Amino acid sequence: MTESRSVTKLHSNDTLSSVEISLEGKILPPYVDENSLMRNIEGDLYGMCLIFPGTSVNEWLATNTLGFFTLVDLIAASIMEYCTIDMCPEMTAGDTQYYWIDEKNKKQKLPAPNHINLAMSYIQTQLQDRKIFPTKFGHEFSPDFIHVIKRMYRHMLQTIAHLYYHHFQILKELSLHCYLNSLLLHFAYFTKHFELLEIQDLEPLSDLIELLFKIDRNDSAGKKAE
Ligand SMILES: [Zn+2]
């Protein structure tokens, strides 16, 4: 885990768009309501997912994965003093139970802080493995690359889902919720575009993602109409 516990505020969009948002029938994590869906980034997050010209798909996935991991790790680290073995004895997102699968393929129920620490360490280890993430020109990506990448995204998604369901209130008090909302919106666009997650992986956050997409679409339509 990163040691840093502070987040530099880039710029904040403190007012939620005036679009009408229907929360009817949506299953949202506790505390997440229409007043909590503000973001810190205004901009074309979907456009940011599209491959930079001249870049290979694998290079693009690798670069973006590092960016997503840095943010997930930073936001998780900022609330880890509230995510303790006593407070979060299991890794869950609401009713969804997550298991840690060890190297012998054994499924284990771990307390959330242990699970998240292992997940972040796993991602960091993969990112530093030059056989999987080559840094030198001409070195090929490993044939396992996409398999490893998908596993990394599943770990990040589970961590994000745990934060929404169990630590959203404290994130809001620390004014970090707008960073989490922007991260989830960008993350959801990216994983959808590159098919990095299965529908069942996204299930605990699917209604929230749908709402964030809707707000984003309405914001973009509003900007074009201005
Ligand atoms: Zn927790």
Q: How far is the CA of 197 from the centre of ligand 1 (A)?
A: 22
Both tokens assigned to 16: 């939620």
Residue 32, pLDDT > 50, answer: yes
Tell me what pLDDT residue 10 has: 30
In a domain, 31, yes or no: no
Q: How far is the CA of 173 from the centre of ligand 1 (A)?
A: 16
Residue 1, pLDDT > 60, answer: no
Annotated binding site for Zn(2+): 83, 88, 162, 167
Q: How far is the CA of 85 from the centre of ligand 1 (A)?
A: 8
As a whole number of angstroms, the distance between CA 201 and CA 162 comes to: 13
For residue 121, give Cα distances in angstroms to 82, 114, 116, 124.
Answer: 19, 10, 8, 5
- CATH of residue 178: 1.20.140.30
| Tens of pLDDT, residues 163-200 | 999 999 999 999 999 999 999 999 999 999 999 999 99
Q: How far is the CA of 152 from the centre of ligand 1 (A)?
A: 19
pTM value is 0.85
In a domain, 56, yes or no: no
Tell me what pLDDT residue 97 has: 97
The whole-number average pLDDT for the span 2-29 is 46
Instruction: State the total domains in the chain.
Output: 1
Q: How far is the CA of 82 from the centre of ligand 1 (A)?
A: 7
- Domain residue limits at 113: 65-220
In a domain, 37, yes or no: no
Tell me what pLDDT residue 6 has: 32
Which of residues 36 and 11 earns the better pLDDT score? 36
In a domain, 151, yes or no: yes
Tally Cβ neighbours within 10 Å of residue 171: 22
| Tens of pLDDT, residues 40-83 | 777 788 888 888 888 889 989 999 999 999 999 999 999 999 99
Which of residues 21 and 53 earns the better pLDDT score? 53
Q: How far is the CA of 91 from the centre of ligand 1 (A)?
A: 7
Closest of 13, 53, 49, 16 to residue 32, by C-alpha: 16
| Tens of pLDDT, residues 127-154 | 999 888 887 766 788 888 999 999 999 9
The whole-number average pLDDT for the span 114-139 is 89
Tell me what pLDDT residue 37 has: 80
Tell me what pLDDT residue 24 has: 65
Q: How far is the CA of 115 from the centre of ligand 1 (A)?
A: 10
In a domain, 159, yes or no: yes
Tell me what pLDDT residue 205 has: 95
Tell me what the pLDDT averaged over the chain comes to: 85
Both tokens assigned to 23: 């929360």
Q: How far is the CA of 84 from the centre of ligand 1 (A)?
A: 6
3-state secondary structure the chain: CCCCCCCCCCCCCCCCCCCCCCCCCCCCCCCCCHHHCCCCCCCCCCHHHCCCCCCCHHHHHHHHHHHHHHHHHHHHHHHCCCCCCCCCCCCEECCEECCEECCCCCEECCCHHHHHHHHHHHHHHHHHCCCCCCCCCCCCCCCCHHHHHHHHHHHHHHHHHHHHHHHHHHHHHCCCHHHHHHHHHHHHHHHHHCCCCCHHHHHHHHHHHHHHHHHHHHHHHHHHHC
In a domain, 125, yes or no: yes
In a domain, 55, yes or no: no
Q: How far is the CA of 167 from the centre of ligand 1 (A)?
A: 6
Tell me what pLDDT residue 12 has: 36
Q: How far is the CA of 184 from the centre of ligand 1 (A)?
A: 18
Tell me what pLDDT residue 23 has: 62
In a domain, 208, yes or no: yes
